[in-house]
Structure 1
Amino acid sequence: MTVLPDWMRPPRAEGWYADDLDHLPEAPRHTELIDGALVFMMSPQRIWHSRVVTALNNELTAQAPEEVSVEREMTIRLDDRNRPEPDLVVTTAPLELDRTWFAPEDVVLVVEVVSAESAHRDRTVKLRKYAEAGIPHYWIVEDENTAPVVHVYELDGPTKTYVPVCIARDVLDRPVPFPLHVELSSLIPRRR
């Protein structure tokens, strides 16, 4: 059995806190905090996942109003014990180049592109946690025979739960969080 590096040992008996992520320089680049436990993205990334995230980032950025920015792979500090890292964050927070996380009240949309290792967290754990934090819009992008399919959720304020709004195939047209039109079939170019 190999010995764990010191940085992997929680600094206290109850585990990790959100601010601890900023003090783990040796941790893998994509490290999340879920319920006080570190979660590492260890499986290799598929080209499908990478291309969908990049294409959606480009589409959202091109269509976003000036006061909105789209950020890739940045954490959201949901509370003291949760700091997940979605694939895309659409935010109204002011631009701060040293920023390492966003507050939920500055996030208008979270996009998770499902991979094999993140499927359970994206579909259940994060679905619940983002809603409880009050993030108004959540998209889960699934691979359906290599075609991206977007499951769109909106927050029901009184219950702090997400309500499924639509499942978009081929084209995604949404009036919120800002007017959007995305040709989903063009997100995965066949060659390049």
Structure 2
Amino acid sequence: MIQALPKPVTFDEFIAWYPQKSEHHYELHNGVIIEMPKPTGKHSRIAGFLIAELNFEIRRSSLNSFIPKECVIKPIPYESGYEPDVIVLNSKTIGDDPRWERESIITQGSSARLVIEVVSTNWSDDYALKLEDYEAMGIPEYWIVDYLGLGGRRYIGNPKRPTFSVYQLIDGEYQVTQFRGDDRVVSPTFPDLNLTVQQVFQAGE
């Protein structure tokens, strides 16, 4: 295992340190390097399924967007850096993001149309830390795909159930709509998306 730096670090120090050939993924949370849980098979299959479905929608609707293989989100002014499971970038505005072409780093909310996190054991990061930072950046849409119902009851209700949460930025604040079971996922970015929660969750089986 590669040893993380022992003291709080800046975002630029984190990027310079990041091991290129490591089998692990890391994020920077307020100056602290965090080794991320290795995605399970179900987690990876759901993320891959969503990438395939959204790429189809992008082509079908001729949306000026693309899904990069790798990307780091840098919320300003915090010393943090996140690697989302899926991000849909805006082809029209990405050129204005100063660190994209050289480093695949996003610093402006206008660069992204949609960010997706598939929930793992570190669910509080998705529902609290990242949600607040994505909201502050002005990222217009954020999905939390909680296929195991791991999130806290304050986020997904009681009893806890597998839940698909769509956060839409309205007047600078996220408003959430939640979907379960046979519900069709309603997305402002992809209004014609014909996908149910069950279809997404079953993709991991």
Q: Aligned residue for 1:68? A: 65
Deviations 1:18-71 (A, max 9, x none): 222331243754211121211111x34221111110101111111023410123
For residues 21 and 190 of structure 1, the distance between their equivalents in structure 2, rounded to whole angstroms, comes to: 32
Q: Aligned residue for 1:47? A: 41
For residues 129 and 190 of structure 1, the distance between their equivalents in structure 2, rounded to whole angstroms, comes to: 28
Q: Aligned residue for 1:127? A: 131
Structure 1 residue ranges without an equivalent (≥5): none
For residues 144 and 138 of structure 1, the distance between their equivalents in structure 2, rounded to whole angstroms, comes to: 18
For residues 126 and 83 of structure 2, the distance between their equivalents in structure 1, rounded to whole angstroms, comes to: 11
Amino acid at match of 2:126: D
1:176 aligns with 2:180: no
For residues 72 and 55 of structure 2, the distance between their equivalents in structure 1, rounded to whole angstroms, comes to: 18
Does the 8 Å CA contact 1:53/1:87 hold for their aligned counterparts? yes
Q: Give the TM-score, by structure 1 length.
A: 0.78
Judged with a 3 Å threshold, the aligned counterparts in structure 2 of structure 1 residues 190 and 108 are, in CA distance, closer, same or farther, namely closer
Shift of 1:79: 1.6
Q: How many residues align?
A: 178
Q: Aligned residue for 2:81? A: 83
CA RMSD of aligned residues (A): 2.8
1:1-192 alignment runs, 5 A limit = 5=3, 8-10=5-7, 15-26=8-19, 28=22, 29-41=24-36, 43-64=37-58, 65-72=62-69, 74-80=71-77, 81-93=79-91, 94=94, 99-103=103-107, 104-116=109-121, 118-144=122-148, 149-157=163-171, 160-179=172-191, 180-187=193-200, 188-189=202-203
For residues 117 and 168 of structure 2, the distance between their equivalents in structure 1, rounded to whole angstroms, comes to: 14
Q: Give the TM-score, by structure 2 length.
A: 0.73
Greater helix percent: which structure? 2
Greater strand percent: which structure? 1
Sequence identity, in percent? 25
Deviations 1:53-110 (A, max 9, x none): 0101111111023410123552111125121111111111458775432232201111
